[in-house]
Every structure is written in structure tokens, then in C-alpha cells.
Structure 1
Amino acid sequence: MAENPMLKFVTVSRDMPEKRDAGVRNEDFNEIYAEFAREKAEEQASRCSQCGVPYCQDHCPLQNNIPDWLRLTATGRLREAYEMSQATNTFPEICGRICPQDRLCEGSCVIEQSGHDTVTIGAVEKYITDTAWKEGWVTPNKPRREREESVAVIGAGPGGLAAADMLRKAGVQVTVYDRYDRGGGLLTYGIPGFKLEKDVVMRRIDQLKEGGVQFVMDCNVGEDIGFEEIRNKYNAVVLATGVYKSRDLGGPGAGAKGLVKALDYLSASNRQSFGDTVAAYDSGELNAEGKRVVVIGGGDTAMDCVRTAIRQGATSVKCLYRRDRANMPGSVRETQNAEEEGVEFVWLAAPKGFTGDPVAGVMVQKMRLGAPDASGRQSPEVIEGADYVEGADLVIKALGFEPEDLPTLWNTPELEVTRWGTVLTDGATHQTRLPGVWAVGDIARGASLVVWAIKDGRDAAQNILENLNAAANIAAE
């Protein structure tokens, strides 16, 4: 009887690709994990239990066919594994790098629950598609036949690009508008290279261009072109602008020089890595070199900031978070990486104000966790009389993002928004209350994960195609 290629989690231990030593990786912005060798990828994929109810798939926003492509990888059928991975995910190599697998697929793995450590799903996903690129299996998605209908996508982030990809495959004429000079949105300018090297994003955008997607860059809708002009020009419009408005801090000294927004800081670093001239980086305004850095926040953006500051040569990097480690919203894996690299976490600490101008310190309130709030998380409470000052030369505010006021910016008051400022959509179709307009990703759901934006973009594209087909059938009658 032939040996079962799977179910090896009892005899084979979990193993990740080799991680570069912190002392080495702190010197550059290259990705910190090495690539799996084929034998190691097959070995790790063979640990999958092929369970009848794949919780990994159920807890993946894209419903990726994870057990199937793990089995194909384990048996050496890599091209088929890539085709299956690509069938449900527009950017599997990106998700394999930046998805918080510990909170999604890997965190739901059945063998993890039984004490055998989860399958390294993300690392295998990355390996499959990186191999596909190397082997030339990834080709432009040129349609079999062209359609006359056209769709505009506003925003070249993951949600907008996923929608553009699906629509272009179906032969629709797609034009993507974006305010920046390069596509990718936060994939390009928000996420540091040590998590996602930029050539990985650029090659996907090049692939879309080769497939016929048109890009209009450095175009700020509402200023360079009117939203109504776009609506009148295309059969449908997809809003995928993301959320870029940073939440701010008040208190004494809140306007001091040396207090910067996380996205400004990360964008400057990423632009510098492209070789762009960045005046605010060169002047030291958005550069941590030689400075005592304090980052305020506990999400993945805060982790990106602290780890970037380490690489820029900060003399010290501290992260202030008002709750404890167990309640931190960021990825556990990213927190561990940051600690390895020399970041100090100051738990149960919140800023009260700032000293000096330029900033010289953060006035810190010590906190304790009290009763749960509306979300079920314990609310932080101030411990009276425990304030102190944390010395700082650069303070980075990583408190999350909010939507811009699109109805006002675009002079379109009929574009309905929720009480949080996100664009109001039908949850199933992603249609807004404006005829012919869809909204996807963070601008509709609030600041969230890249994988959710990809799902929204794909689902909205499918609904747009259904609407276009229905209109075409009516016209033909």
C-alpha cells in the first residue's frame, strides 16, 4: 500500500523558512525570511491533516482552497498548486508575506488545536507563487474577447487592483486612477520592504498593464478630474480609495515639531528605498537616525514604524500601548520580530502630552485594565499619580486611520456614508446608493486587512459583470 503523502504532522515538526539574525537584518530593508527549498515546502505541506471541515479555509476571507494546494505542493505538483491558489486570490505571494496568518488560517488549523503546531500555510503560499514567477507560469491576464463596456477604478491599492484584474480578465476596458506616482497604495508606500519587498508589488502592476489595464497616476480625483466626469465617462465606477486620514493626539505640546504621522514617516522611508529624493527624510524630519524614538499605538502600523526606526539607526525605540500584550491588536509574530530587533514595549501606557518644542519627551500616564467596553475588551483606566516623562526626539503617531470626507471633497453630497464616514454599501454586492458606483476595501469597511480588500474587489467585480451582462441582454432584446 502506497504511503499517504499527507498526515505527517505527528512525525514532522513545524518549521518556518530560516529567519535572518536580528543583528544582520537590522542593517537593511530586505525581507527577513529566506525562501523555502522545494523539499522543505513539500515536507511542511505534508503536515496538513486534510480534515473534513477545513477551518483554515473557513477562516480565510478569500476562502482559499488551502488543503488542496497544500496536498498538490506535498506531491510535487507545484504548477497545479499555483493555479489553484491563483483561482481564489489575486495576489497570493503578497498575502503569503503580510497576512496575519496567526489570526486567520494558521490560527484555525486543526492540528494546532490538537497540540502539534500549525501548518506553515503562509510560507508555503509565498513559496508556490514565487516559484510560479520564477518558472514563467504567471502571465498577463489578457481576455479571450474584448467588451465595449468600461469601468473606472479610483484607487490603486489591493482592493482596486483586485477589481481591475477580475474585470480585465472578462474583457472589460479598465482604467485605474490614483493620487500617487506608483500603484499599490499602502502595499507600496505604507508597508516596509522587510515585510514586502517592492519589486513583488511592482511586477503585479506591470502584469496588469501588460494585460491591458490603463493607469492614470498622480491624479487626485476632485481636483485633477471631477468625480461626476468619471461617472459620466464609464459604465461603472469602483471606489477603492482606502483610508488615509490619520487619527491625531491632543494634549499639551501636541503641536510640537518632532511629532509625525505614521504614514508620512513610512512613506518617506519607502520612497527613499525607491531612490526618490525625499526632502523631509534628508533633513531628518522623517528620519530616525540617532534619535530616541517613541511610537504610540499597538497595531501593525505601529510595528512597521518601530522596526523601520531600528533600521534607520535610532538610538532607542520604544512602543507605548495603553493595553497589555494580550490585548494588542497587532500580529503576535510582528511583535516578536520587533522585540528580537531591539524594540522595547511599554505596556499599559498612554500619552498625556508632550514636553519641549522640538519635542523632548512624552508625558506618560500609567494605565490598568478595568471593565470590558462595548467590544468586550477591557477598558484602560488611568492610575492616578503614576505619570512620568519618557524622553523622545521623534514621536510617531500610529493610532489608526479614518476615511476622508469624500462627499465634500468630490462635491457629491448624494454619496451616502455611515456614521463612521465610510461609504455606505450593500454588504453582499458592494454597491453604493449611487447608481453604477461600487465601493471596496477600507473606504467601505474601515481600516482592515489587505486580504479583505482583495476579497471586496473580487466580489464587486463579479457583481459589476453581472450587472453589465444583464444590461447587455436587455439591450439585445
Structure 2
Amino acid sequence: MAEEKMLKFVSVERSMPEKRPPMLRREDFGEIYADYARDRAGEQAGRCSQCGVPYCQTHCPLHNNIPDWLRLTAQGRLREAWEISQSTNTFPEICGRICPQDRLCEGNCVIEQAGHGTVTIGSVEKFITDTAWDEGWVEPVSPAQERPESVGIIGAGPAGMAAADMLRQAGVQVTIYDRYDRAGGLMTYGIPGFKLEKDVVMRRVKQQQDGGVEFVLNCTVGEDLSFDAIRGRHDAVLIATGVYKTRDLVAPGSEAGGIVRAIDYLTASNRKSFGDEVPEFDSGELDARGKRVVVIGGGDTAMDCVRTAIRQGAESVKCLYRRDKANMPGSQREVANAEEEGVEFAWLSAPKGFAGDRVETVEIHQMRLGPPDATGRRAPELVEGADYSEPVDLVIKALGFEPEDLPQLWGTDGLEVTRWGTVRAEFGTGQTSLDGVYAAGDIVRGASLVVWAIRDGRECAQAILDYLGQGAAAVAAE
């Protein structure tokens, strides 16, 4: 019986796809995990316990039907598995690669709690959709009927593209405006290739173009085209710009040369992978080759920076984080990968100041963890008299991102923002203070995960469809 392929967690050990050796993978920007063979994917999917209350699904922001597509994969019914997977997730092959499964689905797997090792949900998810692409099952959207209404989306990142996909499925005309020369947002220019190879993103962009989504690139709203002009062109507008403003580093000497923003550093590296000319990289300003590199921060962006510097041929790479390893916000799996590749972590360390017109040394505070702060995490405190110096040639600030002041940049009255600068939007719909204007992703919730942006985009798309439907009904009533 097919069901006998399940419940193998007692007899079959957890096994990830083979990981390339650190000394090999640090030489290029290719993804570090190999693909599952079909039988291995089915075997690992068969470890699922098919529990009555699937915490993996509950803790997935998209509430993906994980037990169902694991069961179908174990039974060899891959097309059905893919159909269920993509029914709730616009980009399952991307989430399978970059989601911090250890904090979401896999971290809440029931058999993990029982000591058997979690099901490798992310790797199976990646396998299913990569197979779908290879087999030609993934096709451009072809709506049953085209609708006359149009929606303008500002931002071609995961939230904007997820919304565009759902709107096109309903036949709505969609135009996405983006400041960059390629679509994809941080999936294209922020996340390094060793986590997400760029052809994976570009084939999704092409799929949307082939399905009727119009991309207007190299378009900075407020400069090349006004926000009011976009509103005038469309029946509804979705703001999905993300957050790109880097948090400042407040320390003496922080304006010295050689201290750069993480977003600039990662964008330059990703542009080089596309074969672009990048003067700031070619001059050495944003190239870590031969340099002593210090990255400041403990999130996933910091992990992207340290692992990129290793691949660029840095002489040494050190990560400063003011809390300890157990309290860092980044994925523990990414920390482990970085350590394997030669990154040194200086836990309980924070920058005190920098010396040199072009940075030569960083003065470092030693920290300890005190009582919990307002978030419940133990707050870092200075250890008096325990400072030390570290020679450095390149400092990368990975302190997180904040929203830009959109009302000022766009010259827009009436677009309300929160005290944090994010766009104020209704929970569950994304409706803003302006009629027919919605917002989704990081510009609403602050810097977060791609999977949350996808969820927000899909929810906004449904709200926009409801809004357009009401508009059509009102016109018909007249």
C-alpha cells in the first residue's frame, strides 16, 4: 500500500542533500547543496509522521500544506505534490532555498521534538519545484478571461511579484515599477548566489513576463514618474518597495573610508555575478580580496556578507556581534556554514570606534549579557576595561534596514506612516489611508523574511480583487 511509504522516521535517519566541502564551495558562488536524487527525496519525505496537528504547517507563514506534499512525494506522485505546493506558495523553490526552516517549519517538526531529527522540509520543497521546472510543468499564467482593470505595483520584490501572480491569474492587467534594472528586489541583488542562484529568480521573472506582467524597470518613483501619475494610470496601486535604508553606525570615526553598507557590498557582488561593470567593485572599494574584513551585525544579512567576503578571497573575515551565539537573530544553520568556511565570530563584541582616514583599526568593546530588555532578550552591557583593537581594511555595516520616508520622497499627502516610518496598512488586507492604495511586505512590517513578503503580497492581491469587484459592481449598478 502507498501509505506504507510513510512513518519511516524511526527506521530512516534524517539526511540532507550532500553539501560541498568548505574548501571547494568557498571558491565560487554556486549553491552549496546538491540536489536530492528522486529516491532520496521520496525516502526523506516518507519520514513525515503525518501527525494530526501539523505544527510545521502552523508555523509556516504561508501555511503550506506540508504533510500532504510530503506524502505525495514519498508515493512518487510528484506532479500532484508540486500542484499542492504551488497552490499556497508563489515561489516554493525560492523558499526551499532561503527560508530559515530551522526557525519555522522544521524547527517545529513533531518528530524533531521526539528526538528523531526533523523532516528535511525545505530540501524536499526545493526538489519538488525544481523537478516541476525540469519537467515543463511550470507555465506562464493564462487567465480564463482577461479583465479591463489594471493594478500598478511599486516594487518588483517577492511581495510585489507574489501579488502580480495572483492578480494575473484573475485576469487583471498588472504593471510593476522598480528602481533597479532587473526585477526580483533583494532576491536578485541582496541574497548571494550560494544561497539563491540568480537563474532561479530570473526564470520566475520571465514566467511572469510571459504571463502578461509588464515590468517598468530603472524607474524611480518620485523622480522618473510621480506616485500620483501611477495612481492615475491604474484602478488600484500596491506599494511593495521593501526597506533599503541602512541603520547608522554611531561611533567615532564611522565616516572613514573603507566602512561600507551591506546592501552596497552585496549588490556589487551580485552585479558582478551577472557580468555587469561595477566601478566600485573594480576599484577595490567593494571587493574584499586580500583584505582584513570585519562585519558588524548578527542577522542573515551579516551572514551573507561574511560568506561573500570569504569567496572574494579576503585575508581574514571576522563577525562582531554584541550578544552571544544563542541570542543572535540569524539562522544557526547559516552560522554553521560560515564557521565551516573560515569565518571567525567575535561574540559579545561591539564597535567602540574606528581609526584612520581610511579605516585601519576598529576599537572593540567587550560585552556581557545583563537582564532582559523590553523584547525579553537579555540586554548587552559593557565590560569596563576589556576593550581591544583589531586591524582592519574593510568594515561592512550589517545592522539592519529601515524604511525610506515615502511621503517625502514621493511628495504624497495623505499616505500615513507609523512612528517607525513603515506604511500604515490594515492587517490582513494591506489597505492604506489612501483609497485604492495597498501596501505589502517589508515596507509595512519592517525588515523581515521573503516568505512573509510572499504572504503579504498574496493577501493584498485578494483584497485588491475584492476592491476591484466592488468597483465593477458599483459601475454596473449605475
TM-score interval for Structure 1 and Structure 2 normalised by the shorter chain: over 0.9
Match of 2:63 in 1: 63
Please give the per-residue CA displacement for 1:43-76, whole angstroms capped at 9, x wherever unaligned: 0000000000000000000000000000000000
Q: Secondary structure at the match of 1:103?
A: coil
Does residue 312 of structure 2 align to residue 312 of structure 1?
yes
Match of 2:18 in 1: 18
| C-alpha distance after superposition, 1:114-155 (max 9, x if no partner) | 000000000000000000000000000121110000000000
- Output the CA distance in 1 between the equivalents of 2:2 and 2:75: 13
Aligned-partner Cα distance in 2 for 1:21–1:413: 55
Q: CA offset at residue 3 of structure 1?
A: 6.3
- Residue 2 of structure 1: CA displacement? 7.0
Offset, 1:356 = 1.2
Quote how far apart the aligned CAs of 1:252 are.
1.5
Number of the residue aligned with 2:120: 120
CA drift of 1:413 comes to: 3.1
Partner secondary structure for residue 422 of structure 1: coil
The answer (yes or no) to whether the contact 2:238–2:438 under 8 Å persists in 1 is yes
Please name the residue that 2:374 is paired with: 374
CA contact (8 A) 2:436 2:467 kept: no
- Between the aligned partners of 2:367 and 2:379, the Cα distance in structure 1 is 10
**Counterpart in the other structure of 1:240:** 240
Is the 2:2–2:75 Cα contact (8 Å) retained in structure 1?
A: no
Match of 2:402 in 1: 402
Distance 1:251 1:25 in 2: 35
Q: Which amino acid aligns with 1:169?
A: Q
Which residue pairs with 2:360 in the alignment? 360
**TM-score between both structures, scaled by the size of structure 2:** 0.99
The gaps in structure 2 that reach 5 residues or longer are none
Report the equivalent of 2:439.
Answer: 439
Q: CA offsets per residue over residues 238-259 of structure 1, 9 Å max, x none? A: 0000000001112211110000
The equivalent of 1:213 in structure 2 is 213
Cα deviation, 1:326-352, whole Å, max 9, x if unaligned, reads 000000000000000000000000001
- Give 1:85's aligned residue: 85
The amino acid of 1:79's aligned partner reads: R
Between stretches 311-320 and 244-253, larger displacement belongs to 244-253
- Partner Cα separation in structure 2 for residue 318 and residue 48 of structure 1: 39
Match of 1:43, SS state, is: helix
| Distance (Å, rounded) in 2 between the aligned partners of 1:78 and 1:414 | 49
Given the alignment of the two structures, is residue 463 of structure 1 paired with residue 463 of structure 2, yes or no?
yes
Q: Percent identity?
A: 73
State the partner residue of 1:141: 141
**SS state at 1:104 partner:** coil
Deviation by residue 1:300-344 (Cα, 9 ceiling, x = unmatched): 000000000000000000000000000000000000000000000
Partner of 1:170: 170
2: CA distance between counterparts of 1:369 and 1:155? 39
Cα root mean square deviation, aligned? 0.7
Give every structure 1 segment of 4 or more consecutive aligned residues whose post-TM-superposition deviation is greater than 2 Å: none
Partner of 1:94: 94
Matched AA of 1:85:
S
Q: Take 2:142 and 2:228, find their aligned partners in 1: how far apart are those partners?
A: 29
Q: Determine the C-alpha separation between the residues in 1 that align with 2:251 and 2:90.
A: 44
Q: Secondary structure at the match of 1:368?
A: strand
**Cα distance in 1, alignment partners of residues 451 and 197 from structure 2:** 17
Q: Normalising by the residue count of structure 1, what TM-score does the alignment of the two structures yield? A: 0.99
CA distance in 2, matches of 1:299, 1:219: 30
Q: Structure 2: how far apart are the matches of 1:445 and 1:428?
A: 12
Give the aligned residue type for 2:349.
Answer: A
Shift of 1:214: 0.3
For structure 1, which runs of at least 5 residues remain unmatched after alignment?
none
Counterpart secondary structure, 1:369 = strand
Q: Are 1:40 and 2:69 an aligned pair?
A: no
- 1:341 matched to 2:341? The reply is yes
The one-letter code sitting in structure 2 at the alignment partner of 1:65 is N
Does residue 227 in structure 1 map to residue 224 in structure 2?
Answer: no
